[in-house]
Amino acid sequence: MSTRTILVTGGAGFIGSHFVKHHLKNYPSDQVINFDKLTYAGRLENLKEVEKNPNYSFVKGDICNPSEVAKVMKNVDMVVHFAAESHVDRSIQSSIEFLETNVIGTYRLLEESRNQNVSKFVQISTDEVYGQIMSGSFKETDVLNPRNPYSASKTGADRLAYSFFETHNVPVVITRSSNNYGPNQFPEKLIPLFVTNLLVKKKVPVYGTGKNIRDWLHVEDNCRGIEAVLSKGKNGEVYNIGGENEYTNIEITKMILNELGKGEEMIEYVEDRKGHDFRYALDCSKIKKELDWKPVISFEKGIKDTIRWYQDNEWWWKPLVK
């Protein structure tokens, strides 16, 4: 395979950094450019393993800035677009940053991809664009019904990307994944927040009754799915990437408590999130059948390994915890 230049936006974030490391390991002849603004959740510490790799480079910049985007994308072959504001609670408090980054930033990248004639543009979307589902699971063709500002902004980016495929023939492929977990996740999301809280003897805040259901996907399984889409995904198509591990939030909470030897007195039930989606679930038969992908990391192993990582890497998360 000839050498390719891959632009990874948001490559210092949680999923993006795992993808950068995964790609360099599996395609050692490729050049990978990490383009990241380094907002609060973007950390170059996530990339210590590859910072000296001659095929890896970091460029600090903003996907909303057209001149910076044009400069970094010169001679790029493929784009894998992770960069996004992604925390639902923050989007409820203030939505404007989500619209700017997730919609306008995506537009800037798509426009430059059209100018540069890139060979693939992978838009990283989310299962949250579908909204909630009480039973069954969402297929890629189902109606999108986002119910909070974050998921609405991701839906805008998702559909904007598709429109560039239809209108301008930009080779866009879209992935929609379920809740990711694993090492290096910023401690505002459920699993790292609860683990780090307990490690500093703080209670864990559970929304409502904790009965909301999520599907959990290990970040490495997601990276394998994204790689499959990058190399074999059909332009204009959407691929669901799910972990097939459905648990209520309270079940996840009790698993973490048990693993860390803590009791349920460490749970603090808090007022439910506004517009809180009850359940997400993805039908992943398309990516399994067409791209020969399936999740391989069991949740039992994945959650234990993740908890252990936070126990062993206080240097990484201690500066982030108030």
- Closest C-alpha to 74, from 92, 91, 93, 61: 61
E strands, the chain, in order: 5-9, 31-36, 56-60, 78-81, 120-126, 172-177, 179-181, 204-207, 213-218, 238-241, 246-248, 267-270
Q: At what angle do helices 149-168 and 106-116 cross, to 10 degrees?
A: 20
- Active-site residue, 269 included: no
Rounded distance between C-alpha atoms, residue 21 and residue 246, angstroms: 27
Residue 101 sits at the vertex; the CA angle it makes with 174 and 77, to the nearest 5 degrees, is: 50
Of 30, 36, 85, 128, which residue is the catalytic one? Answer: 128
SS3 4: coil
CA-to-CA separations, 233 to 83, 165, 219, 225, 274, in angstroms, rounded: 20, 14, 19, 10, 36
- Closest C-alpha to 40, from 238, 257, 189: 189
- Active-site residue, 227 included: no
Rounded distance between C-alpha atoms, residue 285 and residue 216, angstroms: 17
Please list, in sequence order, all residues whose beta carbon lies within 8 angstroms of the beta carbon of residue 31, skipping any fewer than 6 positions away: 3, 4, 5, 6, 55, 57
Of 27, 107, 130, 150, which residue is the catalytic one? Answer: 150
- Active-site residue, 259 included: no
| Distance, C-alpha 159 to centroid of its chain | 17
Of 127, 215, 221, 227, which residue is the catalytic one? Answer: 127
- Closest C-alpha to 146, from 105, 97, 187, 102: 102
Pairing of strands 246-248, 213-218: antiparallel
The DSSP H or E segment spanning 47 is none
Would you please indicate which residues are annotated as catalytic (active-site) residues? 127-128, 150
